[in-house]
Amino acid sequence: MSLEEKLGEMTQLSPNFFGAAESVDLTGPMQQMNLKSEDVPLLGSTLNAFGAENIIEMQKRHMERQPHHIPMLFMADVIHGLKTVYPIPLAMGCSFDTGLMEESAAMAAREAAATGVQLTFSPMCDLVRDPRWGRVMESPGEDPLLIARMTAATVKGYQGDDMSAPDRIASCFKHFGGYGGSEGGRDYNTVDISDGMLREFYLDGYKAAVDAGAAMGMTSFNTIDRIPATGSKKLYRKILRDEWGFDGVAITDFDAVNEMIPHGLAAGGKEAAKYALEAGVDIEMMSTHILNYGKELVRSGEVDEKLIDEAVWRILSLKNRLGLFENPFKGADAGKEKEVCQCDAHMALARKAAARCVVLLKNEGKILPLQKGAKLGLAGPFADSLSVLGGWSITATGGNSTLLRGLQMHGAEVKTAMAEELKPMQMGFFDVSDQTAELDSLADCEIVVAAVGEHPDDTGESASRTILRLSHNQEKMLEKLHDMGKKVVAVVFSGRPLELKPVLPFCDAVVQAWFLGSEAGAGIGDVLFGDVNPSARLSMSFPQTVGQVPVYYNHMNTGRPVVGKPHRFVSCYLDCPNEPLYPFGYGLSYSEYAYSNLRVEKTEGGLPLQVSVDVENTSKVAGRETVQLYIRDVAASCVRPVKELKDFVQVDLAPGEKKTVSFTVTTEMLSFWNNEAFVFEHGDFVIMAGHSSDEVLSETVTL
């Protein structure tokens, strides 16, 4: 290949550059590409082209013109399903169900592959602690272990054992690294996290993707150690390649090479290209500095051509692993596309997943589950809304079942009021109109389901918020329903933890419904009427107020922790507790569970430890309990978090049934980053097991 051909292979542009008919909206700014017509046939990949016929046609045209007939690689954002949409990743995190995650990703792969997509820009494994950041919806949450397990399951679901199979696609983890730490929760903002924080918290998800065999990794927009990730040798050469042995492809995020200029790292495009190449970027997405300046950089000796050869080798190896040299269309098949997209089996899985991700936050007086055939009022902007898929559902056309339909499916007689839908803040709308007078028509309904939340377009990329309360008229609606003497069941649709404290006094029950995808309404109905006993747990803490943010369970202690009642000169707020409103791991069910008999047994020499705990379903309802194991390293050469999730197990318990759940705690699980390496240090460890991060039995062991 000539140098020009290699540089083309390393460049990715959107389908419109190839004269494609079908394309979705771009997710970033369009730069001046300085593209010459002879460059186009050399481009190695494209993003977000969909439709089997369209992709087959594009590929044919491309291969005819590519000098060596090298097929183009079709990549896309298939984030939580393609046509059949499953819950947003933050909600999937709440399921704590890695099997369900893998199955859902496999379903997405089946649909995407049939439509011609060969690689998805997923999973997103950024650790998230700040609900002001709109992209928390794309992550499995705030805990490194939960993110790592969900990430591995997602990669496995997409790629299977052989990513060249017609119903599999390659997977790209993102955004490496530390994108979730953006200051103030403002998207694309500076990230400044210590090496210890990075190593122990933020990197685990990406590492899990690498270990699971993900084919590609994507850079992030943020800085790390004051260097934009796309130009960071520490991240890409040192950690990703040298330490983790990743031999897949590194792609930039949208326009991220170019963005090293406004960041202030590179003075111009040539310097930006040099930084990217030296860091180890293989594909530049949606800017063309490597293409435009690569030749000059090599000819002048500023960049070794070897770097370019290595990058192109990795890209071609990926095309080879996908089987594109044998079959450049891979799974693209218009007939299959019709057959699998939203087929019955996929919709059934979407419904099951939706129900498994609903988190029951409050259930006073056990108002839930509702009686079948109940007479219900239904109010609020999500009462009969199909806008329940959640951000990044870029090719899906709307939900299949609204909440109203979900209630009616269970025989409820429903009367609606004040059901005007929200419009996005992105378009300048901040509230629904005040139609609280309409609520009087619900006077004869004893129970009112209030479907409240935020618009799905106000979550996801570039959707940061500073106020996390429900809009004024939604809060007013809840207050009025309460004043009318109604039993209020609030169902909250959101892509992030909202500030629910102000409305808790007006609600008898609160159900966190996130954005649950194609079968959101049916899945929520299944939970509200008790066909499915809620088992999900929060993957991210809910703040009492936005002023507490970031608030997360696995924080460090201070030298002045609050013990007992807060008083002067301890680390606390004057106007709010330190604890979140609802912590990580929290979630109610229609069953009740009792924990007892925590046992911690050392093996000879101390480790591994055998930990077991008894859990009993003390209710009359069968349920699924997520038993969580936490540890605390009491004193070490670097301070350790007050609690860290180390394992979890899901058990199904019949009414009255008791099971013993066992865990093995290894040296590796007790190791930490001492600013040079992962080490284990002897000392006291608190071993905790229980229902949630703030509800555990504990025992201390000396090792």
Closest distance between ligand BGC and the C-beta of residue 253, in Å? 5
What sign for the dihedral angle of Cα 605, 606, 609, 611?
A: positive
At a CB cut-off of 8 Å and minimum separation 6, what does 367 contact?
447, 487, 489, 508, 509
- Residue span 45-64 as binding mask against ligand BGC, x where in contact by CB under 6 A, dash where not: --x-----------------
For residue 616 the two structure tokens come to 């009993």
Q: If we measure between CA atoms, which residue out of 649, 626, 642, 628 comes closest to residue 686?
A: 642
**What is the spatial distance between Cα 127 and Cα 144, in angstroms, rounded to a whole number?**
7
* Closer residue to ligand BGC (CB): 18 or 254: 254
Site map 403..442 versus ligand BGC, x via CB under 6 A: ----------------------------------------
User: In whole angstroms, how close is the CB of 625 to ligand BGC at the nearest point?
Assistant: 34
Question: What type of residue sits at position 605?
Answer: G
Assign 147 to helix, strand or coil: helix
Q: Which lies closer to ligand BGC via its Cβ, residue 80 or residue 486?
A: 80
Q: Which of 531, 532, 539, 478 is nearest to 509 (CA)?
A: 478
Distance of CA 502 to the CA centre of its chain: 27
**Amino acid making up residue 622:** A
Q: How far is the CB of 27 from ligand BGC (least distance, A)?
A: 4
Write down the least CB distance from residue 394 to ligand BGC, Å: 8
* Contact track, ligand BGC, 469-508, x by CB under 6 A: ----------------------------------------
Amino acid at 342: Q
Strand order across the 487-493 sheet: 359-363, 509-512, 487-493, 447-453, 375-379, 413-417
Residue closest to ligand BGC (Cβ): 121
Per the CB < 8 A criterion, the answer to whether 15 and 46 are in contact is yes
Question: What is the smallest separation between the CB atom of 660 and ligand BGC, expressed in angstroms?
Answer: 43
Where do we find the tokens 């150690």?
225
Nearest to ligand BGC of 111, 333 (CB atom) = 111
Residues 204-263 that bind ligand BGC (CB under 6 A): 253-254
CA–CA distance, 124 with 187 (Å, rounded to integer) = 15
Q: 177 vs 406, which CB is nearer to ligand BGC? A: 177
- Interface pick for ligand BGC out of 174, 263, 356, 624 (rule CB under 6 A): 174
How many amino acids of this chain bind ligand BGC (CB under 6 A)?
Answer: 9
C-beta of 18 vs 673, nearer to ligand BGC: 18
Q: Which of residues 280-299 bind ligand BGC (CB under 6 A)?
A: none
DSSP label at residue 366: G
In a 3-state reduction of DSSP, which class is residue 188?
Answer: coil
Does residue 454 contact residue 422 with C-beta atoms inside 8 Å? yes
333 is catalytic: no
Contact 530, 131 (CB under 8 A): no
Instruction: Identify whether 15 is preceded by a cis peptide bond (ω within 30 of 0).
Output: no
Lookup: tokens for 428: 């300048």
Name which of 28 and 497 has its Cβ closer to ligand BGC.
28
Cβ proximity to ligand BGC, 189 vs 671, nearer residue: 189
Determine which residue in the list 23, 27, 288, 342 makes contact with ligand BGC, applying CB under 6 A: 27
Residue 126 or 526 with smaller CB distance to ligand BGC: 126
Letters for 133-172 (x = contact with ligand BGC by CB under 6 A, - = none) are: ----------------------------------------
Helices (runs of H) and strands (runs of E) counted in the chain = 17, 25
In the complex, the smallest distance separating the C-beta of residue 54 from ligand BGC, rounded to whole angstroms, is 17
Q: Helix/strand/coil (H, E, C) string of 667-686?
A: CHHHCEECCCCEECCCCEEE
Check: CB of residue 395 under 8 Å from CB of residue 50.
yes
Q: Which lies closer to ligand BGC via its Cβ, residue 49 or residue 540?
A: 49
Instruction: Return the number of the residue (138 or 499) whose C-beta is nearest ligand BGC.
Output: 138
Check: CB of residue 410 under 8 Å from CB of residue 531.
Answer: yes
Q: Is 461 in the site for ligand BGC (CB under 6 A)?
A: yes
Pick between residue 174 and residue 691 the one whose CB is nearest to ligand BGC. Answer: 174
Give the separation between CA 492 and CA 524, rounded to whole angstroms: 11
How near is the Cβ of 388 to ligand BGC at its closest, in Å? 22
Nearest to 543 by CA among 599, 598, 511, 499: 499
- Least distance between ligand BGC and beta carbon 181 (Å): 15
Q: Quickly tell me which residue has 């040539």 as its tokens.
A: 270
Q: At closest approach, how far in Å is the CB of 254 from ligand BGC?
A: 4
DSSP 3-state of 20: coil
In three-state secondary structure terms, 43 is coil
Taking the complex as a whole, how short is the minimal distance between the CB of residue 121 and ligand BGC, in angstroms? Answer: 4
Measured distance between the N- and C-terminal CA atoms of the chain, rounded to whole angstroms:
59
Nearer to ligand BGC among residue 259 and residue 499 (C-beta):
259
CA distance 660 to 596: 10
User: What letter does residue 19 receive in the DSSP assignment?
Assistant: T
Q: 219-230: buried (b, 16+ CB within 10 Å) or exposed (e) per residue?
A: bbbbbbeebbbb
Which residue of the set 97, 143, 253, 633 is catalytic?
Answer: 253
- Site for ligand BGC (CB under 6 A): which residue of 50, 74, 86, 121? 121
List C-alpha distances in Å: 607 to 275, 295, 601, 663.
45, 56, 9, 12
- Cα distances from 431 to residues 438, 455, 487, in angstroms, run 17, 10, 24
632 near 685, Cβ under 8 Å? yes
- Shortest gap between Cβ of 75 and ligand BGC (angstroms)? 8
CB of residue 47 vs ligand BGC: minimum separation in angstroms? Answer: 6
Catalytic residues: 253
Q: What residues make contact with ligand BGC under the rule CB under 6 A? A: 27-28, 47, 77, 121, 174, 253-254, 461
